[in-house]
Amino acid sequence: MAEKILMIALSPTMEAGVITRWNKKAGDKISTGDLLCEVETDKASMDYESQSDGTILKILVSNGARVKVGEPIAIIGDEGEDFSADSKDTTHVSTEKKASSIHNENLPGGVKASPLARETARKLGVDLSSIEGSGPRGRIVKEDVEQNAAAINAKKTTETGTAASIVKTFTTEKLSEKRKVTAQRMSQSMAGIPHYYLSVPVCMDSVIRTRNSLNKKHDKKISLNAFLIKFAAEALRRNPQINASWQGDSIKLFSNIDIGLAVALSDGLITPVVKNCETKGILQIDEELKTLIEKAKSGKLAPEEYNGATFTISNLGAWGIRSFTAIINPPASAILAVGEIFKEPVVNEDDKITIASRMIFTLSSDHRVIDGAMAAEFAADLRGIIEDPAQALL
């Protein structure tokens, strides 16, 4: 009997996904475990594997379509089976196509245009038959009309020297699932969590010397982020109340220290997580971190590799940012914002002016979980560890 194949949640936070590519077509026989299609989720590109055997009778969703979890994407059954009764109400169409079933898009001469494009053309006095559409199957959309009008007005201005009315144009970039979910989660975090911020300048000279010494002994350079993760883990071990999560009627204190590093990608933000940092050395953390970042850039992170950070670090130093504040990444109750390393004159213990390499650390905390004194103690411990790295070995 024919049945619908539904979009399933391919990650814990997924509410919808975009089918980027079908690996099967109507008429293909499939078995459990076969790769049906590739789906862009809120965090990465995931493989959708078949959960049943049969023949694909119809593909309901085209490449590039966004589908909510639970909506049908195809119909499967026995070869040659009549499935018309099963598919009458299942075809997934975009909002744009739904509108076209109400408005006739075909103009005389076979020109196709959206209702909004026709209305825009009427207001601007543009002949739709002279425009090449950029939409699906050559369909004319609003942006095509505006760009055509701008080009015509610009030409009139050049030819006549008069001030013709210029229509401002723009391009619209479709949101990726990653950016949609990032926007949603960060909006919820900022609106629902009472943030406050503590900043502390830290001398980085000892860390720089330690890192340079280690890098001379290894083929691959150890990243500064690996040092920061290790030092933060040690400070969290000493201050377990920072490694916690608000639960509404209770506070969860995590026994493991799982630290996420915010990584900026072209289509949004993702936070690969190094697990159990309290049990690992800098070299192991660095190796795992580099692997996670490469997987993040290629969209191959598994859900367990980017979910559940108990603490997060966001580093914008590579862009020359000296200091900033970051938004807490739930379920964690704190995030550490790290700026660039810079040199400035400082007064040492002997009241002499010297040049020191400094970095500003800013801790964002959830005031429901972390009191100001707790955050200050964590910041002081972190500063002490960084300025004397040997403390991390004690």
Helix (H, G, I), strand (E, B) or coil at 214: helix
Phi–psi pair at 342, nearest 5 degrees: -135, 160
Contact of 330 with 260, CB cutoff 8 Å: no
Contact of 357 with 342, CB cutoff 8 Å: yes
Q: Identify residue 361 by its one-letter amino acid code.
A: F
Contact of 299 with 45, CB cutoff 8 Å: yes
Helix (H, G, I), strand (E, B) or coil at 3: strand
The yes-or-no answer on residue 103 being catalytic is: no
Nearest-5° angle of CA 290, CA 14, CA 49? 85
DSSP 327-377: ---TT-SEEEEE---EEEEEE-TTS-EEEEEEEEEEEEEETTT--HHHHHH
Phi–psi pair at 194, nearest 5 degrees: -75, 95
Q: Which residues pair with 17 in a beta bridge?
A: 67
Tokens 């997060």 — which residue? 312
- Of 92, 103, 195, 367, catalytic: 367
C-alpha–C-alpha distance, residues 221 and 232, integer Å: 20
Which active-site residues does the annotation give? 367
